[in-house]
């Protein structure tokens, strides 16, 4: 009957993020001198996917009511590792990709184990592991350098059939292979339940710990996909501290823009992707309107603030003031 | 394997089960036998051990000793999940629903239908719809988010969720308290059908007429002990009350005071209401009076205190202080000079104290404006006041600069009270202030309350311990379902009267008479 109303209510954060992005991107392309061409889309996609992957990683953890301040560093670490391993013959390259992804998974699993079984607060645990991951990245690449299998890199950053950006196709494939199965599995359900109300989840006999562990591990894996793509774009590995931190912070911004609640239990990785793309489009908008790029951080801040305020309206409805602090 | 004869044999049995929390005995050597195809009611007043008993059966807490037998085999549950797997489903008083998930997600949360390892949403929806139908709640849309539903609908979802597990034992803990009358009759029809189908039901309720309608057997608990089990209907309400009465120790209470009859009320409430939790509450209190709030836990006592203290929004009705209407919009407003209220909260660890901060800092928090004349804390004034409080309440602390978390529970509670006495409040609200503290400190608190009343304070005192209400209060307002059902005065405050009115039993004229005859 009125199923769509309930669907709308359930996914309104994600839909809002998609809406925000579509509007921003439409404004951008309609003011772009070249208009909506394959080139413009490809450039935008390639700029957007890096943050999209890291934001997906962040979203998985945030859904469980945690936070991962090491995603940016996992991203940098896997970039450095890829610049050593994703080279040579197709076989060697494949092996390299698998190792890089496995290392990402391991980084996430370590975070998960510390938070869930060590019972440390996610914020502290991941600051520490983030520093460790960056330390390892620095050992791997004290100076920028290395390389990547350029055939693979060009294929994954180019276009399919002349107009579809390959990076977007990869993003879609990752969503289909990682997010869709996870979100429809018992563990995905349990991850949401744990983020929404851990007590109720426990009382319902839901596998909270395994679900959270999976969320953290997959988060590491997605950050590693991001790290691979960084290598494909730059052809090199660099242990860039500022870049790692920026990606961590931007991923949180993207997740919030994407309608994922920092209190957990609400939102989706899809929303986070569009949050990331929207966040990246802010810079493009400034470009087409001829603003000084110096305005970019200020504008990003304003957009984020407005988006977050939209989510805070529910507080006006609270009838017991103690719920403000709950 | 011995096949149990399902109709007659007790197919779930607890033998000698005990549980202590710290030094406090929650349940002691409890026995219980539940038959398939019957509804077994559990009765008892606050602290009788009902909730601990249920938590043990549901796998939430592990018993210290004793054993449980299911189908003649010994079982023990490490988690709610394990109890679930054994066929035990529990409908808890505090809802166990996940607010951000849909109704269907919640109903099927323990074991969603899967295809190729992934949740089959269509099948899930069909099963959820069937469960809602079975619970008599087909009006609830399976895709609605739980947090968007009103409380009564959530409770129905909770019932549907329990039914979807196809349990062999269903435990209902005050499951009808949030429901509308129409829902209750639907649920009763469902429960009777389940009984016919051979399920065993454990029914915990304080509503005697519900128990009379549903139960086949009743077990009474008192002070964590099993008192009696009898076939439903074989005992009168008065006999049941008799079994529930009786504590083991009596505290020593200070003599009660006398209130000048002509004294004007300091606080008056007229027809207070808030959401569906408080309804039409009117009372007044004069300086020097200690007014108790009685009734079973969760009947609106806590909300009433929060309402007076300015925590709740959207209140209806009127509050008057010294005869003039006031609007109390926050705790800061409630404690301001014109009103002079103080609230000793229920949970001192989260609402009363900042545990890692020092005794000194904690004592000063409510009275910072008194000791910091120009925004800067004057250590001289502070030291003087703190010394006075530590002496007045004999708080046992090595020095006022150690963390308050290092003190004993009783002394922590004294700090919470002293913190408000620093302001010299005129109206003191207490929310179960003696829960979990030692007998000695309890007595000191009773004496302190009476002294404050004698000095002119008006005291509203919620306690789950009926002994305290009898010993400390000049009057007791007994709350039931968010409203004041009975007011007991002076000699009329007896065990029997408190329990009868808490259960909303019309025990009639016999109640005060038996108190007078004693």
List CB contacts (< 8 A) between B305 and chain A: none
Confidence bin at A140 (pLDDT 50/70/90)? very high
- Give residue A214's domain range: 3-325
Instruction: Say what the pLDDT of residue B250 is.
Output: 56
Query: Rounded distance, CA B259 to CA B472, Å?
Result: 14
Q: Where are the domains of chain B?
A: 1-74+168-176+199-246, 267-517
Does B98 contact A7 at a Cβ distance shorter than 8 Å? Answer: no
Residue A119 sits at the chain B interface (C-beta within 8 Å): no
CB contact at 8 A, B390 and B416? no
- Backbone CA torsion sign across B465, B467, B468, B470: positive
Does A189 contact B105 at a Cβ distance shorter than 8 Å? Answer: yes
Query: Rounded distance, CA B478 to CA B476, Å?
Result: 6
Nearest Cα of chain A lies from the Cα of B302 at a distance, in angstroms, of 12
The string of DSSP letters for A152-165 reads HHHHHHSEETTTEE
CATH of B267-517, one of 3.30.1330.40, 3.40.190.10, 3.40.50.300, 3.30.365.10: 3.40.50.300
- Backbone CA torsion sign across A85, A86, A89, A95: positive
Residue A214 sits at the chain B interface (C-beta within 8 Å): no
Query: Rounded distance, CA B92 to CA A197, Å?
Result: 15
| Chain A from 303 to 322: CB within 8 A of any B CB | 318-322
Tally A–B CB contacts below 8 A.
100
Kindly state the average pLDDT of the residues A68-94. 95
Q: Are strands B290-294 and B217-222 parallel, antiparallel or unpaired?
A: unpaired
User: Residue B396: helix, strand or coil by DSSP?
Assistant: coil
Q: What are residue B318's DSSP bridge partners? A: B270
Query: Rounded distance, CA A33 to CA A227, Å?
Result: 32
List CB contacts (< 8 A) between B98 and chain A: 192-193, 196-197, 200-201, 204, 265
Note the maximum CA span of chain A.
Answer: 65
The string of DSSP letters for B20-82 reads EETTEEEEEEEEEEEETTEEEEEE--TTSSHHHHHHHHTTSS--SEEEEEETTEEE--SSHHH
CATH code of the domain containing A74 = 1.10.3470
Q: Per the structure, how many domains does chain A have?
A: 1
Higher pLDDT, residue B80 or A64: A64
Positions in chain B short of pLDDT 50 = 1-8, 249, 508-518
Instruction: Say what the pLDDT of residue B518 is.
Output: 30
- Whether B1-74+168-176+199-246 shares its CATH topology with B267-517 is answered yes
Determine which of A152-166, A267-281, B244-258 has the lowest per-residue pLDDT on average.
B244-258
**Which of A10, A189, A193 lies closest to B145 in CB terms?**
A10
**Domain range B1-74+168-176+199-246, CATH architecture:** 3-Layer(aba) Sandwich (3.40)
Q: What are phi and psi of B312, to 5 degrees?
A: -95, 145
Between the ranges A93-102, A180-189, B30-39, B275-284, where is the mean pLDDT highest? A93-102
Confidence bin at A43 (pLDDT 50/70/90)? confident
What are the residues whose beta carbons fall under 8 Å from the beta carbon of A242, sequence distance 6 or more?
Answer: none
List CB contacts (< 8 A) between B85 and chain A: 205
Query: Rounded distance, CA B421 to CA A264, Å?
Result: 40
Instruction: Say what the pLDDT of residue B22 is.
Output: 67
Determine which of A48-52, A199-203, A307-311, B330-334 has the lowest per-residue pLDDT on average.
A307-311
- Per-residue pLDDT of B172-196, as tens digits, reads 988 887 777 778 888 899 899 999 9
Closest CA to B63 of B132, B14, B110: B14
Beta-strand (E) ranges in A52-188? 159-160, 164-165
Task: Indicate if the pLDDT at residue A157 is higher than 50.
Answer: yes
Confidence (pTM)? 0.78
| Chain A from 2 to 61: CB within 8 A of any B CB | 2-3, 6-7, 9-10
- Number of other CB atoms surrounding residue B274 within 10 Å: 22
User: Residue B338: helix, strand or coil by DSSP?
Assistant: coil
Q: What are phi and psi of B333, to 5 degrees?
A: -70, -35
What are the residues whose beta carbons fall under 8 Å from the beta carbon of B338, sequence distance 6 or more?
Answer: B321, B326
Residue in chain B closest to A201 (alpha carbons) equals B98
Residue in chain B closest to A264 (alpha carbons) equals B100
Instruction: Say what the pLDDT of residue B507 is.
Output: 54
């Amino acid at each position: 009957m009125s199923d769509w109303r309930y669907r709308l209510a359930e996914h309104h954060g994600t839909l809002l993020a998609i809406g925000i992005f579509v509007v921003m991107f439409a404004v951008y392309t309609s003011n772009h001198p070249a208009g909506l061409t394959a080139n413009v889309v490809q450039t935008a996609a390639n700029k957007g996917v890096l943050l999209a992957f890291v934001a997906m990683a962040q979203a998985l953890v945030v859904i469980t009511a945690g936070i991962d301040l090491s995603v940016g560093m996992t991203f940098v670490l896997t970039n450095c590792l890829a610049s050593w391993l994703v080279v040579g013959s197709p076989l060697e390259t494949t092996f390299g990709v698998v190792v890089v992804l496995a290392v990402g998974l391991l980084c996430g699993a370590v975070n998960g184990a510390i938070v869930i079984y060590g019972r440390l607060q996610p914020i502290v645990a991941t600051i520490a592991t983030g520093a460790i991951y960056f330390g390892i990245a620095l050992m791997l690449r004290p100076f920028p350098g290395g390389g990547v299998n350029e055939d693979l890199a060009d294929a994954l950053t180019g276009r399919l059939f002349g107009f579809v950006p390959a990076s977007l196709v990869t993003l879609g494939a990752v969503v289909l292979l990682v997010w869709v199965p996870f979100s429809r599995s018992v563990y995905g359900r349990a991850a949401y339940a744990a983020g929404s109300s851990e007590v109720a989840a426990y009382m319902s006999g839901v596998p909270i710990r395994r679900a959270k562990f999976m969320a953290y591990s997959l988060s590491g894996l997605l950050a590693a996909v991001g790290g691979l793509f960084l290598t494909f774009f730059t052809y090199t590995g660099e242990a860039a501290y500022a870049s790692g931190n920026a990606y961590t912070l931007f991923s949180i911004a993207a997740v919030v823009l994407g309608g994922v609640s920092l209190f957990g239990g609400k939102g989706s990785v899809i929303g986070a992707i569009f949050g990331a793309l929207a966040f990246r489009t802010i810079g493009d908008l400034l470009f087409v309107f001829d603003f000084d790029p110096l305005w970019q951080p200020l504008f990003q801040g304003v957009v984020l603030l407005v988006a977050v305020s939209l989510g805070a309206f529910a507080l006006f409805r609270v009838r017991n003031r103690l719920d403000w602090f709950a | 394997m011995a096949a149990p004869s399902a109709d007659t044999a007790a197919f779930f049995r607890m033998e000698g089960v005990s549980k202590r929390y710290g030094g406090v005995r929650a349940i002691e050597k409890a026995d219980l036998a539940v038959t398939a195809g019957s509804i077994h009611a559990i009765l008892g007043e606050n602290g009788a051990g009902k909730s601990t008993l249920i938590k043990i059966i549901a796998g939430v807490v592990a018993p210290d000793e004793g054993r449980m037998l299911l189908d003649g085999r010994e079982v023990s549950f490490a988690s709610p999940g394990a109890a679930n797997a054994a066929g035990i489903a529990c409908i808890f008083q505090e809802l166990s629903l996940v607010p951000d998930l849909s109704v269907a997600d919640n109903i099927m949360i323990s074991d969603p239908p899967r295809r190729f390892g992934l949740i089959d949403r269509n099948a899930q929806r069909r099963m959820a719809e069937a469960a809602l139908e079975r619970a008599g709640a087909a009006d609830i849309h399976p895709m609605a988010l739980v947090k968007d539903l009103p409380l009564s609908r959530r409770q129905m979802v909770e019932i549907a969720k329990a039914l979807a597990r196809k349990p062999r034992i269903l435990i209902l803990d005050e499951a009808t308290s949030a429901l509308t009358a129409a829902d209750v009759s639907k649920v009763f029809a469902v429960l009777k059908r389940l009984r016919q189908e051979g399920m065993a039901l454990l029914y915990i309720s304080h509503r005697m007429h519900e128990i009379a309608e549903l139960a086949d057997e009743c077990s009474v608990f008192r002070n964590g002990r099993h008192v009696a089990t009898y076939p439903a209907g074989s005992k009168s309400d008065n006999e049941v009350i008799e079994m529930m009465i009786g504590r083991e120790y009596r505290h020593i209470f200070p003599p009660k005071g006398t209130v000048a009859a002509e004294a004007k009320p300091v606080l008056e409430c007229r027809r207070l209401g808030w959401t569906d939790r408080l309804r039409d509450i009117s009372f007044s209190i004069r300086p020097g009076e200690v007014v108790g709030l009685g009734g079973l836990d969760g009947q609106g006592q806590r909300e009433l205190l929060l309402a007076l203290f300015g925590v709740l929004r959207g209140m209806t009705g009127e509050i008057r202080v010294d005869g003039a209407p006031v609007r109390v919009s926050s705790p800061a407003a409630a404690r301001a000079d014109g009103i002079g209220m103080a609230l000793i909260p229920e949970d001192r660890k989260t609402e009363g104290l900042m545990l890692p901060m020092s005794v000194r800092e904690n004592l000063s928090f409510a009275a910072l404006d008194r000791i910091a004349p120009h925004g800067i804390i004057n250590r001289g004034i502070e030291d003087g006041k703190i010394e006075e409080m530590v002496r007045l309440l004999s708080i046992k602390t090595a020095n006022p600069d150690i963390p308050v978390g290092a003190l004993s529970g009783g002394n922590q509670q004294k700090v919470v009270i002293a913190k408000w006495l620093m302001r010299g409040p005129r109206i003191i609200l207490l929310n179960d202030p003696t829960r979990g503290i030692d007998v000695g400190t309890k007595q000191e608190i009773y004496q302190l309350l009476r002294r404050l009343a004698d000095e002119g304070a008006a005291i509203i005192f919620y306690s789950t311990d009926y002994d305290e209400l009898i010993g400390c209060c000049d009057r007791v307002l007994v709350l039931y379902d968010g409203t004041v059902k009975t007011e007991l005065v002076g000699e009329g405050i007896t065990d029997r009267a408190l329990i009868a009115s808490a259960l909303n039993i019309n025990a009639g004229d016999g109640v005060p008479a038996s108190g007078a005859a004693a």
